[in-house]
Amino acid sequence: MHTKHFIARVIYFSTGAFTAIYTGSSQEVSAEIPRDTSYTTYRTFIKERRSFHEGRDRQVAKMDVPGIYSEIRAIDSTPHTFRLFHPWFETTINYMTGFLDKVLKQDKSEYSLANISSLRWKQIAHSMPDKWYGSEQAISIAENVLLYQRNTGGWPKNVEIHHMMSDSFKKKITEEKNHIDDSTIDNDATVLEMIYLAKVYKETNVPAYKEAFLKGLDYLYEAQYDNGGWPQFYPLRKGYYSCITYNDNAMANVMRLLKSVADKDPAYDFVRKDDPSKCANAFERGIDCILKTQYKQNGKLTVWCAQHDAKTLEPAKARAYELPSLSGSESAEIVLLLQSIKDPSPEVKHSIEAAKKWFQKVRIDGIKIETYINDKGLRDRRVVQSPGAPPLWARFYEPDDNRPFFCDRDGIKRYSMAEIGYERRNGYSWYTDRPSSFIHTDSNSKNQND
């Protein structure tokens, strides 16, 4: 058996594949990990290596990047074909079935790892059954949320934080806690994590989740400008990241959370004694910023740009294809936020009515967005005529004459979605129906407020 040459055999499993890695001999079996491989695929390639753990660790690191969950199990004093023979065969099978149970099995109280991983983080934070937030599964995800929270109190964006992580990846995330350049409210970041922690805390009373939520709240207080707006990133970064950011509803999301705390929503009844009043103050300052940034066109109030200069409050440019404009998308969410205010001031009422008139004026009737297969065999989008279709609104309108426009990464305005390249045409939301939720959309109402 040559046991002196075999210190340990290591099996590692991933949700992309099942692979056995041999360590401790002069040969190593390394693995390909294609993303779409089944759970029990076994692929090996024999290589001469000096370091037998190096190949295994490199494969685990590769799986960490797309968030493929993996486990490593070591069995001491085993021969080359250990997994096929007694007494190691049963141990190997137990490890395999335990792994598969974890990623596939589902009982009445929890979801399988496979099912959880198929959901978006936003769904996990908002839409799971209340009791689920007290489950072991929810607690495990809450621990991920704690790991990702920066020392600033905020979180980075675009993280599917509910995916299981290997120990090596957890170590990597822990080492990034001191990062000060990626805490943000963009793409639902920070707000989603706080909402999730609040739900888990309510079901578990684990102090760490409460403390992380409160640290996030302090982050939002600190990030707010004196004029009431919030930048996309805080601590501040150069460029458009420091603009007052309505884009992707960043500021509206923050303000809704603060309003819930200020209104003493039972979901947040664990906050500090002075937090409701501090949140109310921050919310009111945010409303003041919204009123001051509402764009005037020929002396009349209209709506808002996706981002405004933090000093001048004028519409501002962000990415190359996000030019100063009136927003048909983000402005709709601002109107809904303003409408949520109890006993609104005359200024707020006037703001809402002016925005609604603008939305009626610029609505686009008789079209729809169609997905089709283009002449290159690719899924593509185009605008087609469709009499009687529900109204749509463009993402961007010219600030001075309300003409809808589109833009590619070259920064050049175009006035048809068909004129921009394939990548931007299909990788951005150029139209929205969101304003339909608060204005009349029958065919006779378009010009009633002109």
Burial class from Cβ neighbours inside 10 Å (0-12, 13-18, 19+) for residue 297 reads middle
From the list 370, 362, 202, 231, the residue with the least C-alpha distance to 297 is 362
Q: Which pair of tokens denotes residue 56?
A: 């295994």
Q: Which is the catalytic residue, given 35, 120, 272, 319? A: 319
Q: Is 319 annotated as catalytic?
A: yes
C-alpha 325/C-alpha 316 separation (Å) is 8
For helices 136-148 and 207-223, angle between their N-to-C axes, nearest 10 degrees: 40
Q: What is the DSSP letter of 150?
A: -
What is the Cβ-side half-sphere exposure of residue 161, based on CA atoms within 13 angstroms? 31
For residues 264 and 275, give the distance between their C-alpha atoms in angstroms, rounded to a whole number: 10
Answer whether 201's CB lies under 8 Å from 209's CB. Answer: yes
Alpha carbon distance 356, 441 (integer Å) = 12
Angle at 268 between CA 272 and CA 151, to 5 degrees: 65
18-22 and 8-14 strand pairing: antiparallel
Q: How far apart are CA 56 and CA 199, in angstroms?
A: 38
Please count the CA atoms within 13 angstroms of the CA of 59 that sit on its side-chain side: 28
Q: Within its chain, how far is the Cα of 229 from the centroid?
A: 21
Task: Determine the 3-state secondary structure of 294 from DSSP.
Answer: coil
Distance CA 79, CA 3 (A): 6
The total number of residues shown for the chain amounts to 450
| Helical packing angle, 275-293 and 207-223, nearest 10° | 40
Active site (annotated) includes residue 187? yes
Tell me the two tokens of residue 25: 């001999």
| Best CA proximity match to 298, nearest among 374, 210, 400 | 400
Which residues touch 25 (CB under 8 Å, ≥6 apart)?
5, 6, 52, 80
Which residues are marked as active site?
187, 319
